[in-house]
Amino acid sequence: MNEKDFVSQALVNALDETLTVSEVKDLLENPKSPEHGDVAFPTFSLAKILCKAPNIVANELAGKIVTEDFERVEVIGPYINFFMNKEKVSQEVLQQILHEGAHFGDFDEGDGRNVVIDMSSPNIAKPFSIGHLRSTVIGDSLALIFEKMGYNPVKINHLGDWGKQFGMLIVAYKKWGNEEVVKEQPIAALLKLYVRVNDEVKKDPTLDEEAREWFLKLEHGDEEATALWKWFRDESLIEFNRLYDQLGVNFDSMNGEAFYNDKMDEVVRILSEKGLLQESEGATIVDLEEYDLIPALIKKSDGATLYMTRDLAAAIYRKKTYDFAKSIYVVGNEQAEHFKQLKAVLKEMDYGWADDVYHVPFGLVTKDGKKISTRKGNVILLESTLQEADERALRQIDEKNSSLPNKEKVAHEVGVGAVKFFDLKTDRMNGYDFSLEAMVSFEGETGPYIQYTYARSKSILRKANFIFEGSKKYALADASSWEIVKLLQLFPSIVKRAADCFNPSVIAKHVLQLSQSFNKYYAHVRILEESEEKQSRLALVFAVATVLKEGLRLLGVDAPDEM
């Protein structure tokens, strides 16, 4: 229980259950100044229920509150201000963290049930760009968060390995491609061909029709089309897997769009049997007017299938295969309408589990304020980005600690961690402008700043040779320590909030705030000085290190012991 839980329960007991715990908790406020306590309860809402003036209600209610968790309870006008028992709470929090270690903040909510996470999903035969980073790192972090909540995450990389773009690429390769050039630098060569054909189609619209024909051949199993497609796919996966290794991200399934080719007929059959299919201008649709959505296109007029058909097949396959408690799609905000349609069609098909399907959207990454586009050739490649991030981190480590053992390994952990953290600290619905310099800075609201704070805490513990003693009482009552204790105590509720709103930035912001608070503490308190509080202060440092490391782990970021 955190401080708001204690206050809520104490108020409910004093109110004889006039309000519920959740109703009281929703009314609680954080005072702007520590002088007004740790938690404040405004009595305006209660005053309306009791038909009394707020200040009278506050005074009467305060007189009924009795609990050892408070140092004191004060009334200021219509507010009841609660001052927590710092020594008691700090002892409980430190003991819990020191005993539980990395398991502090674990939940059993999931009860081992599966959570399927559709994430990353780069397009075959295109370079892995910064544009794909958000889905990858948000999805990976959510997998770690839901695992901590007691679920079993199933990470699926739904590769973009099907669609008309392969018709475009086949046309481009047959007109301007060279096998030796493609073999030498597969992704770079294929990207040039893809950009070129998209430019040429503006001048010659017949190329677009050729591309449609080639994709239709591919759908029907044409030998030449299939061989080219498989070659493009295999070469792409070699590069993708190398990048995933650098990011420290892995998957339970790499089944992309093509995997569902033989599963779409079943979807069309079910839709037909339920009387959901309609003809519209030669195309086959599902009408979604009652959901205030445009019709879902199931087949084009030429018989070619669409994203919707494959996504329906994928959703049904995943439910049958994994019996998921939640199915999460980490896909950009521009696809919001598509996933509303997907969920609506699943409901129309009478699948009750449609309510367990969630679209987790996110904002765009831009460069100099402009949208990144592979088609226009305006792209920031992830591999070169990670390489430069490592180099920048190594330069800074050389400046600060040139004798650091394994500094190349640490530089990689810092560089990759910097790129990930910068993305994840941004509320996922917001976009951000890409800046490697801002990402890899050791100062400010960055990953390296938190990693450095963690390394500093570990250094203090090594110097003090701190060893946790289970029977020892660790407690602190000073104001400086209390600010840190409150942040530590909040960590489990932060994890739960991040899971509930599918937003890793909640954790990123919390570990950032904890780092800032600890560095302020480090600057003003002589932790290693001999005193009665020394061991308790070291226990506080140990707890900070534990929560920082676990918070970074949930973001997919390493925490080096030395930097």
Count the Cβ atoms, other than its own, within 10 Å of residue 426: 20
Does 539 score more than 90 pLDDT? yes
Instruction: Report how far residue 323's alpha carbon sits from residue 244's, in angstroms, rounded to the nearest whole number.
Output: 27
More confident residue, 215 or 498: 498
Distance of alpha carbon 540 from alpha carbon 94, whole angstroms = 7
pLDDT at 143: 98
CATH code: domain of residue 484: 1.10.730.10
Q: Decide if 250 contacts 244 (C-beta within 8 A).
A: yes
Average pLDDT on 455-481 reads 94
Give yes or no for a contact between 340 and 291, defined as CB atoms under 8 angstroms apart: yes
> How many angstroms separate the Cα of 67 from the Cα of each of 14, 63, 82, 93?
11, 12, 11, 18
- Supply the pLDDT for residue 75: 96
Structure tokens at 144: 């770690």
Secondary structure of 348-380 in HEC code, one letter for each residue = HCCCHHHHHEEEECCCCEEECCEECECCCCECC
The whole-number pLDDT of residue 178 equals 92
The domain in which residue 443 lies consists of: 382-554
State the Cα–Cα distance between residues 56 and 41, nearest whole angstrom.
Answer: 14
What are 321's two structure tokens? 């295969």
Structural domain contains residue 521: yes
* Domain assignment of residue 127, yes or no: no
Q: Is the pTM of this model over 0.85?
A: yes
Mean pLDDT of the chain: 94
Domain end call among 39, 67, 84: 84
Contact (CB, 8 A) for 334 and 373: no
Q: Is residue 292 part of a domain?
A: no
Side-chain-side CA neighbours of 23 within 13 Å: the count stands at 10
What is the secondary structure of 306-358 as a DSSP string?
-HHHHHHHHHHHHHHHH--SEEEEE--GGGHHHHHHHHHHHHHTT-GGGGGEE
Beta strands in 217-282 (DSSP E): 277-280
The pLDDT confidence band at residue 377, using thresholds 50, 70 and 90, is: low
Q: Which of the residue ranges 89-103, 105-119, 371-385 would you say has the lowest mean pLDDT?
A: 371-385
Number of structural domains (the chain) is 2
Residue 279 has pLDDT above 90, yes or no: yes
Residue 381 identity (one-letter amino acid) = L
Which tens digits make up the pLDDT trace of 180-215? 998 888 888 998 999 899 999 999 999 999 999 999
Q: What is the mean pLDDT of residues 232-255?
A: 93
3-state SS of 264-299 is HHHHHHHHHHCCCEEEECCEEEECCHHHCCCCEEEE
**Is 371 part of any domain?**
no
- Mean pLDDT is lowest, of 99-113, 231-245, 314-328, 331-345, for 231-245
| DSSP reduced 3-state for 213 | helix
pLDDT confidence band for 378 (50 / 70 / 90)? low
In-domain check, residue 309: no
End-to-end C-alpha distance for the chain, whole angstroms: 35
What number is the average pLDDT over the span 336-340? Answer: 97
Residues 6+ positions from 378 with CB-CB distance below 8 Å: 367, 370, 371, 372
User: Which domain CATH number covers 54?
Assistant: 3.30.1360.70
Residue ending a domain, choose from 64, 84, 104: 84
Q: Is residue 210 part of a domain?
A: no
Share of the chain above pLDDT 70, in %: 98
Asked whether residue 530 is assigned to any structural domain, the reply reads yes
pLDDT, average across residues 366-375: 74
* Alpha carbon of residue 456 to chain centroid: 26
For the chain, what percentages of helix, strand and coil (3-state, to nearest 5) are there? 60, 10, 30
Percent of the chain with pLDDT over 90: 82
Q: pLDDT, tens digit, for every residue of 382-395?
A: 888 999 999 999 99
Q: Which of 49, 84, 119 is the last residue of a domain?
A: 84
pLDDT at 188: 86
> Is there a contact between 371 and 364 (Cβ–Cβ < 8 Å)?
yes
Q: Report pLDDT digits (tens) over 43-102.
A: 999 999 999 999 999 999 999 997 777 999 999 999 999 999 999 999 999 999 999 999
Strands 326-330, 114-118: pairing kind: parallel
Q: Is 283 exposed, middle or buried (0-12, 13-18, 19+ CB in 10 A)?
A: middle
Residues in a beta bridge with 378: 373
User: What are the tokens at 482?
Assistant: 């209390």
Q: What's the CA gap between 481 and 469, in Å, rounded?
A: 20
Measured CA to CA, the distance from residue 518 to residue 463 in angstroms comes to: 17
Which residue has better confidence, 507 or 131? Answer: 507
Inside any domain, residue 482? yes
